[in-house]
């Protein structure tokens, strides 16, 4: 089992920045936290969950949803078992609960954006962007 704990959410004005963190612990036998693709998803109020960003196991490949490209940056520190989401130029439409997720992969360079592929999820951290 992998446990994921998000932090860093809060209230920010439009145009501001936030940095989310996701700390990973535990793993299935034979695996480590660095065995997983890491992704961020979000669920805006009254809407479906949507893909935000993902990073490959080795941190070298990243992939973003269209609505956050150029504003958000995902990164990971495998030594610290932590993944980050730097969010800049925030907009009111970025308001959502943000979830961290882990997807086991044998490839060090694969990224995925489909929620059903992800095996483990955190509890989420709320982000509110005021206009």
- The conformation of residue 86, written as its DSSP 8-state character, comes to E
- Check: CB of residue 93 under 8 Å from CB of residue 44: yes
Beta bridge partners of 38: 55, 102
What would the pLDDT profile of 78-113 be if each residue is shown by its tens digit?
Answer: 999 999 999 999 999 999 999 999 999 988 899 999
For the cut 90, the answer to whether the pLDDT of residue 54 exceeds it is yes
Query: What pLDDT is recorded for position 29?
Result: 80
For the cut 90, the answer to whether the pLDDT of residue 16 exceeds it is yes
Instruction: Give me Rg for the CA atoms of the chain.
Output: 14
What would the pLDDT profile of 27-47 be if each residue is shown by its tens digit?
Answer: 778 888 889 999 999 999 999
**In 10 A of CB 28, how many CB atoms?**
13
Query: What pLDDT is recorded for position 61?
Result: 96
Mode of pairing for the β-strands spanning 10-13 and 125-130: parallel
């Amino acid at each position: 089992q992998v446990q994921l704990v998000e932090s860093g959410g809060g209230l920010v004005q439009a145009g501001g920045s936030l940095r989310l963190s996701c700390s990973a612990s535990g793993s299935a036998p034979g695996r480590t936290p660095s065995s997983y693709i890491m992704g961020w998803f979000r669920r805006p109020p009254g809407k479906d969950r949507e893909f935000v960003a993902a990073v490959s196991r080795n941190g070298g490949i990243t992939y973003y949803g269209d609505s956050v490209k150029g504003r958000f940056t995902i990164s990971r520190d495998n030594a610290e078992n932590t993944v980050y989401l730097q969010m800049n130029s925030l907009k009111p439409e970025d308001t959502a609960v943000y979830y961290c997720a882990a997807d086991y992969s044998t490839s060090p360079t694969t990224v995925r954006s489909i929620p059903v592929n992800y095996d483990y999820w955190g509890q989420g951290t709320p982000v509110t962007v005021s206009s």
